[in-house]
């Protein structure tokens, strides 16, 4: 079993939240419930929205613009929780103010923007990480360790899906090309990041997709090919609630991760020699592990995490760029 550090043991940072939307509420709830981190400030494009959010979570400072948030001397780290199209500007603002930055997934709209942020963090000597929270969950770490121990023999294939029924109007960020909507960037980033964590960067990506009326991907299927005849088969859609499960099969057995594979979950290993066992990694919350990772890295003076490195994020962004090019999704200004 892998040693999983208690998120409460991470040294406290003073956090500022940039963009108090849906996911920012979850970040605040889980940081406060499951870590010793402090949320000092919140910034919105609208002062009343910032004030309401601050009131709900007992946050001392509320700002009606993002610049004031990142310039608050009592903020050590900024969590960027805006739509995909706005990640670049929000993160650059925080990096230029010298703040450590955790940016919601995907880091940016595309690999070129991701490189820009990474260069800015590198030049400033400031911490930057994509909030791929699944990577830090106990069951994910156990699955990776099992693979490395060879419990399923040589890997032959990996399968994962993430589909939800997200039937919103055309202005919603998930369907709006101006906000870099589409299934791949929002949901597909999970199975792709999972395959990348388990198998690394593929040699080749083959993608087929269907577009929404707004010209973002409503459904995308990817086959990623690796050396030694290994394949990953991934599916993502905004049009149906798929199982959101994952499995990895090898020459000596298989690992099956139950729904919801990218959230705290459980898995079963079944071997051809007749042995099998399960691991239950269901814990309340889930964001606390990535938040603690940021706090530990910053305390150690790191500019990136070894667990979700800049190269990991770039690899995943390049896979998504490649898939979007094949499917025909182009965001305005790209």
Binding flag, residue 81, ligand NAP (CB under 6 A) = yes
Q: Is 125 exposed, middle or buried (0-12, 13-18, 19+ CB in 10 A)?
A: exposed
**191 binds ligand NAP per the rule CB under 6 A:** no
* Residue range at the interface with ligand NAP (CB under 6 A); choices 20-28, 120-128, 210-218, 325-333: 20-28
Q: What is the dihedral of CA 185, 202, 305, 100, to 10 degrees?
A: -30
Residue 235 found at the interface with ligand NAP (CB under 6 A): no
Interaction of residue 22 with ligand NAP, rule CB under 6 A: yes
Stretch that binds ligand NAP, among 79-87, 138-146, 213-221, 233-241 (CB under 6 A): 79-87
Burial class (CB in 10 A: 0-12, 13-18, 19+), 209: buried
Residue choice 133, 194, 226, 289 for contact with ligand NAP (CB under 6 A): 133
Q: Which residue is nearest to ligand NAP (CB)?
A: 21
Residue 23 touching ligand NAP (CB under 6 A): yes
105 binds ligand NAP (CB under 6 A): yes
Provide the H-helix boundaries in 11-154: 22-34, 47-57, 66-70, 84-96, 111-124, 138-149
End-to-end Cα, the chain, rounded Å? 45
Q: Residue 129: beta bridge partners?
A: 102
Segment contacting ligand NAP (CB under 6 A): 38-46, 145-153, 224-232, 241-249? Answer: 38-46
67-95 burial string, b = 16+ CB within 10 Å, else e?
Answer: ebbbbbeebbbbbbbbbbbbbbebbbbbb
Show the site string, 163-182: x = touches ligand NAP by CB under 6 A, - = not: ----------x-----x---
What is the Rg, in whole angstroms, of the alpha carbon atoms belonging to the chain? Answer: 20
Sorted by sequence, the CB contacts under 8 Å of residue 116 that are 6+ apart come out as 88, 92, 108
Quote the least distance from Cβ 263 to ligand NAP, whole Å: 8
Give the nearer residue to ligand NAP in terms of CB position, either 164 or 270. Answer: 164
Find the shortest distance in angstroms from Cβ 312 to ligand NAP: 16
Confirm or reject binding of residue 130 to ligand NAP (CB under 6 A).
no
Establish if 44 lies at the interface with ligand NAP (CB under 6 A): yes
Q: What is the largest CA-CA distance in the chain?
A: 62
Residues within the interface to ligand NAP (CB under 6 A): 19-23, 44-46, 49, 81-84, 86, 104-105, 133, 173, 179, 186
């Amino acid at each position: 079993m892998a040693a999983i550090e208690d998120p409460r043991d991470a040294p406290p940072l003073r956090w500022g939240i940039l963009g108090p939307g849906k996911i920012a509420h979850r970040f605040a709830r889980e940081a406060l419930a499951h870590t010793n981190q402090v949320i000092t400030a919140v910034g919105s494009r609208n002062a009343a929205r910032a004030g309401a959010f601050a009131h709900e979570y007992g946050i001392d400072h509320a700002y009606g613009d993002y610049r004031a948030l990142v310039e608050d001397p009592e903020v050590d780290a900024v969590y960027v929780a805006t739509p995909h199209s706005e990640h670049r500007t929000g993160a650059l603002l925080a990096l230029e103010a010298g703040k450590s930055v955790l940016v919601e997934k995907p880091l940016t709209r595309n690999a070129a923007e991701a490189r820009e942020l990474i260069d800015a963090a590198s030049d400033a000597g400031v911490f930057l990480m994509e909030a791929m929270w699944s990577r830090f969950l106990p069951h994910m770490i156990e699955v990776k360790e099992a693979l490395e121990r060879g419990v399923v023999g040589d890997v032959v294939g990996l399968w994962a899906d993430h589909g939800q029924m997200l039937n919103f109007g055309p202005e919603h960020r998930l369907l709006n090309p101006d906000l870099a909507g589409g299934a791949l960037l929002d949901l597909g980033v999970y199975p792709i990041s999972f395959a990348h964590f388990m198998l690394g960067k593929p040699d080749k990506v083959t993608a087929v997709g269907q577009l929404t009326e707004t010209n973002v991907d409503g459904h995308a299927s990817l086959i990623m090919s690796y050396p030694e005849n290994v394949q990953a088969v991934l599916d993502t859609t905004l049009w149906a609630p798929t199982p959101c499960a994952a499995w990895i099969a090898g020459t000596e057995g298989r690992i099956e991760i139950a729904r919801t594979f990218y959230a705290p979950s459980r898995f079963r290993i079944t071997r051809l020699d007749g042995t099998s066992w399960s691991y239950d990694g269901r814990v309340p919350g889930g964001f606390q592990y990535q938040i603690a990772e940021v706090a530990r890295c910053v305390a150690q003076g790191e500019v990136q995490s070894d667990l979700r490195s800049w190269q990991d994020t770039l690899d995943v962004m390049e896979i998504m760029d490649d898939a979007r090019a094949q499917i025909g999704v182009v965001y305005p200004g790209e």
